[in-house]
Amino acid sequence: MNTIVIVLAVAVVLLALVAIAALLVVVRRTAASGKLSGPSPEQLAEAKAEMNEELERARQEAEEIRTKAERDAGEILKRSESLAEGAALSRKEVEEESRLLKNELKELRSDLERRENRLGEREQRLDEEARRQADRARKLAETETELADRREELDRVADKRRQILERVAGLTAEQAKTELVKEIENQAKREAALIVREIEGEARKEGEKRACKIVTLAVQRVATEQTAESVVSVLHLPGDEMKGRIIGREGRNIRAFESTTGVNLIIDDTPEAVLLSCFDPVRRETARLTLERLVLDGRIHPQRIEEAYERSREEVRELCVRAGEDALVELGITEMHPELVTLLGQLRYRTSYGQNVLKHLIESAHLAGIMASELGLDRELVKRGALLHDIGKALTHEVEGSHALIGAEIARRYGEHEDVVHAIEAHHNEVEVRTVEAVLTQAADAISGSRPGARRESLEAYVKRLERLEEIAQSYEGVDKVFAMQAGREIRVMVRPDSVDDIQAQVIARDVAKQVEEELTYPGQIRITVVRESRATEFAR
């Protein structure tokens, strides 16, 4: 309000000053005109009009100043009111904030006092605990000193007693300790040996009893053939005139037959029969089927012999697959890889020490299955391991290495169980035996091979010697086929005519003979025949 009054007073003063200024202007103009000459009525009228105009202008200016002053005063009044309100609010906020700060300060002071009190109490407790620890350490030090004194005293007493004992016994402490330990050790060993011997005796007695019972039951329940296969096959003929057709003109047919099949064809005085001799049973069976086809057909010549031989090879392959499937059916085994079935069937025509390998595997599988049933093991798993334990013999002529390791690798490749693989690779102890299934496989293999009439050692040695003869000749470059003939007394080597000439053929014959003399032991002599044959074939149309 004071500001408004001041503004209004200033406006009035300004208005008065404007009016006075206007009067002074009029007076001056009048005085100036009066000095020159007396005022005329026109001049007075003009002066009055001018004065009136000046007054009107002064009044308008004063009115404008008053209006502006009132407007400014209103704005100032509004500002002052807002400032007053703001000041009032700020005063209240400041008072409220100061009150809150005082309360918070009061709480902080009380909290600080409480913490100071707690710290003081904690310091007192720590001081008391430190005093107690110091007392305890002092007591421990006194106790350790006392114990050290007692230990020294006991050591002196022990030394005196030890010296007395050593004088009485004539031994030092170390010697007495060594003898005592040795005596206790010997006594413990004797007692342990007695316990072990007793346990081993009982286990051996019980184990032998159970093993004999299991093996006896297995042997009694399996009946197999007692005869062994020979290395000669007999083919009966419809008549003796067929012998001449088999021989051919100047022996052409019989030479072509032997060179194609690798089997000796023996034609003697036996009526209506010829003999086929070969150490390889698969090759001998293929030759027998070939000759049988030729005899039934009646047309016997070199080209026909080769055609019949190829057909017989396919038939033997099918017979091998069928033999493998029959073995699985007999044993009740399913879900075996087709390649393993084929390899099993090939063992139908192979022998081991005169024993048919496929029959040996079937027999071993039966024995192992019976023993597994007696022991409460997985019968099917044990039978698979026993059936496949000699599967590697089907490839020993193609892959180097032991037939056990070869068979294990084949079984692993075709997805057999790891226990079956281990039984195969461990049945000749080439790998350490880790499972009961492998032990049963070994037992079944031994039982099947050791029964009366199962094997003949001489036949196996004979077959191995013939195989080695063929391997030696096959190792030379340019050799196409090799056949051990005449029970191993002759080796026929067929060479490729485009890579070996006549002189090189003689060199091969001499080198083979020299190597056979150095590596093998045999009765009599062996003839090496190298055959180099060139054929020219044309067709007339």
pLDDT value, residue 39: 47
Helix (H) or strand (E) holding 480: strand 479-485
A 10 A CB-CB count for 261 gives: 26
Q: CA 368: distance to chain centroid?
A: 32
pLDDT value, residue 216: 66
pLDDT value, residue 36: 39
pLDDT value, residue 35: 42
Domain boundaries, the chain: 2-154, 171-220, 222-331, 342-455, 465-541
Q: Would you tell me which CATH number, out of the four given (3.40.1280.10, 3.30.1370.10, 3.40.50.360, 1.10.8.100), belongs to the domain 222-331? A: 3.30.1370.10
The residues of the chain scoring below 70 in pLDDT are: 1-52, 54-56, 58-59, 61-63, 65-66, 69-70, 72-74, 76-77, 79-80, 82-90, 94, 166, 169-171, 173, 213, 215-231, 353-354, 396-400, 451-460, 487, 523-524, 541
CATH class label, 465-541: alpha beta
User: Which pLDDT tens digit goes with each residue over 46-96?
Assistant: 656 666 676 667 667 666 766 776 676 667 667 667 666 665 666 777 678
Report d(CA 151, CA 131) in Å as an integer: 30
A 10 A CB-CB count for 374 gives: 15
Q: Are 392 and 403 spatial neighbours (Cβ–Cβ below 8 Å)?
A: yes
Task: Compute CA distances 296 → 237, 251, 272, whole Å.
Answer: 9, 20, 14
Within 248-396, residue ranges assigned H as helices are 252-261, 281-297, 302-331, 338-346, 357-375, 379-387
Q: Are 485 and 531 spatial neighbours (Cβ–Cβ below 8 Å)?
A: no
pLDDT value, residue 277: 84
Largest CA distance in the chain: 202
Report d(CA 302, CA 299) in Å as an integer: 10
- CATH code of the domain occupying 342-455: 1.10.3210.10
pLDDT value, residue 495: 92
Percentages (nearest 5) of helix, strand, coil residues in the chain: 75, 5, 20
Pairing of strands 273-277, 355-356: unpaired
Report d(CA 338, CA 352) in Å as an integer: 24
User: Which pLDDT tens digit goes with each residue over 101-137?
Assistant: 888 888 888 888 888 888 888 888 888 888 888 888 8
Report d(CA 415, CA 426) in Å as an integer: 18
* DSSP label at residue 453: T
Whether this prediction's pTM lies above 0.75 is answered by no
